[in-house]
Chain A
Amino acid sequence: MVKGEKSKMVDERLNVLLVEDTASLAALYQAYLQDEPLSLTVVSNGQQALEHIRRQPPDILLLDLILPDMPGMEILQWLHREQPNVTTIVMTAHGSVDVAVDAMRLGAHDFINKPVEAERLKVTLHNTMKFRHLNQLVDRYRHEIEREPFQGFIGASLPMQKVYRLIENASPSTATVFITGESGTGKEVCAEALHQLSGRSEGPFIALNCAAIPKDLMESELFGHIKGAFTGALQDRDGAVIRADGGTLFMDEICEMDMELQSKLLRFLQTGQIQPVGSSQQIKVDVRIVCATNRDPLVEVEQGRFREDLYYRLHVIPIHLPPLRERGGDVISIANALVRQASREEGKSFVGLSEATKDRLRGYHWPGNVRQLQNVIRNAVVLHQGEWIEQDMLPAPLDNPLAHSTPSQPVADALPAPIVPLSVIERQAIERAISHCQGNVSRAAALLEVSPSTIYRKLQSWDSN
């Protein structure tokens, strides 16, 4: 044994139970182990062993396979079932490989042939102690690392473990966090996690989607306005920054922000003060900024659509959320959680996914990421009955066996399609859904999340045209 290992184990003082019916052998093993860092108890038959284990499960069991009252294998079976944390070393004079294999199959950790020499017994025990110690370490690290669910996230994949660690490390700080990732990867969930784990969690969390607010209203939405600042400003109104005072302001789709407003945002970030629209007063605020985009912010800077100085002001702690297709088994964990949730909410009895469905979900590229998965599962749960979500319950494009092997381009990277009138897109979508459902308008309506009467009305209007 390497010097130092023994002293490390001294502190642990493991409980070892020896089951040996021959008194001179039990005494010999006790003598061999007298200087070892363990507390040894000896019993002489199987019944005593079971009683002792039930009362006080040992860390390690030294078990003779031939006992006066029962076969040691029975004890092994019982342990395997009832006390899997007890690490067993089998001692026997049988010496056959078959017996060793059987014992290992029943959960024995190691095997010693009798007669047992002192050194062999000690080395085996040391190895077992190390094995237990390493197992405990692995369990501890797994507990620390594999945080699932984590603040609204589901998934224990390695890329997500990195994200969780980043969130945990970044949350106590007031530094600005820049979240990137494709649509549907959970950027707002990430922002909320940062807020919840920060010292500001008692304060407000305000989310603002920069792409959803008209350009002209954005400044007012962000910084507020005073009465009469512009037509329709009938009274003073606090902006998102003021409302987030003492908390966190999450600005989604930050790259969609108008250049002029970007410079005002930069000024606020530099001074910590805002000036509501129409006001000459500067108001000091204490806000932690988290922003997000599904674009590549550096490309936006290079293309001149995003201010470089603002980029560097915001891009203090970057967090990139991986797309679902890069998260390995997370897709199944998330899908299972979604099935349970949707089933509960919709009053259905689904309990999970069939193996074939899992295969298809795993093989698909998920251009819409978790949001798309949510829709797929909700659709299947709403439109079907049963306990397991089967492949044929999946909506398009997952219902097509070929769909899963066709790599799709991520939404954020997709080339912009030619602009066509909305009415044309609407008609194409409805016709595609009806065709997909083999003319079943009700099913097509469910897939499109509209009522069948809406589709009939549309069909009539196209006919009359």
Chain B
Amino acid sequence: MADWQRLQARLPLLDRHQLQRMELELGAEVLSRLLRLFVEDGRQQGEALQGAFAERDYVLMARCCHSLKSACGSYGALRCQYLSEKLEQSCHEQDEEQVESRMRAWLPALEDTLQQLETRLNAE
């Protein structure tokens, strides 16, 4: 197992401390609205990334990863942030093998993260 795989597996899907801090800064209502928007964005970006992956369009993939990296980092989605960064790097390097293996890790990470957020939002 590569280093990045070991590290990503140890990273939490969501940084609870960051979400708590955001709730304090913005209030629960505003945070919920923003998290819903993030989930929506995440799904769209995820679809765009998968579409670009099917086309092996590494330039578009890198762009999607770049956007996801910032958004995930801002909302405390640590594992997705890390994997987006790694995937962006592989896309820039046009390393087909790495792109495929990182994509395989990235897809469930995004899905699990968005699922966890939806669960949280539905519980409110």
Contacts and interface: CB of A to CB of B under 8 A. Distances in A.
Interface of A: 21-25, 27-28, 31-32, 66, 68, 93, 114-116, 118
Interface stretch (B3-11, B49-57, B68-76, B97-105): B68-76
A116 B22 CA distance: 12
A269 B33 CA distance: 83
B5 to A, nearest CB: 22
A32 B25 contact: yes
Contacts of A23: 37, 40-41
Given A32-B25, A68-B63, A27 B34 contact: yes
Given A31-B30, A66-B63, A25 B25 contact: no
B63 A24 contact: no
Contacts of A93: 66, 69-70, 73
Contact of B74 (A21, A66, A68, A115): A115
Nearest to A119: B25
A22 B72 CA distance: 11
A176 B46 CA distance: 83
B81 interface: yes
A118 B37 contact: no
A28 B34 contact: yes
B70 A22 contact: yes
Given A115-B70, A115-B73, A24 B41 contact: yes
A68 B63 CA distance: 8
B94 interface: no
Given A22-B70, A93-B73, A114-B70, A27 B26 contact: no
Interface residues of B, number: 23
Contact of A28 (B40, B42, B69, B74): B74
B69 A27 contact: no
B26 A31 contact: yes
Contacts of B37: 23-24, 27
Given A24-B34, A24-B37, A31-B30, A114 B73 contact: yes
Contact of A31 (B34, B40, B41, B45): B34
18 contacts: A22-B67, A23-B37, A23-B41, A24-B34, A24-B37, A24-B38, A24-B71, A25-B70, A27-B37, A28-B34, A28-B74, A31-B26, A68-B63, A93-B66, A93-B70, A115-B72, A115-B74, A118-B22
Nearest to A91: B70
Interface of B is mostly: helix
A25 B71 CA distance: 6
A452 B45 CA distance: 89
Contacts of A68: 63
Which 3 pairs between the two chains have the least Cβ-Cβ distance? A115-B73, A24-B38, A114-B70
Interface string B74-101: 1100000100000000000000000000
Nearest to B41: A24
Contacts of B26: 31-32, 118
A115 B80 CA distance: 13
Nearest to A114: B70
A115 B66 CA distance: 11
A21 B70 CA distance: 11
Contacts of A28: 34, 74-75
Contacts of B81: 115
Nearest to A92: B70
B118 to A, nearest CB: 14
A411 B75 CA distance: 77
A66 B26 CA distance: 27
Residue from B40, B66, B75 with most neighbouring chain A CB atoms (10 Å):
B66
B67 A21 contact: yes
B90 to A, nearest CB: 16
Given A93-B70, A115-B73, A115-B74, A24 B40 contact: yes
Contact of A25 (B30, B33, B40, B74): B74
A66 B66 CA distance: 8
Residue from A21, A27, A28, A66 with most neighbouring chain B CB atoms (10 Å):
A28
B34 to A, nearest CB: 6
A66 B70 CA distance: 11
A28 B38 CA distance: 9
Contacts of B75: 24, 28
Nearest to B76: A115
Nearest to B42: A24
A115 B76 CA distance: 9
A22 B39 CA distance: 12
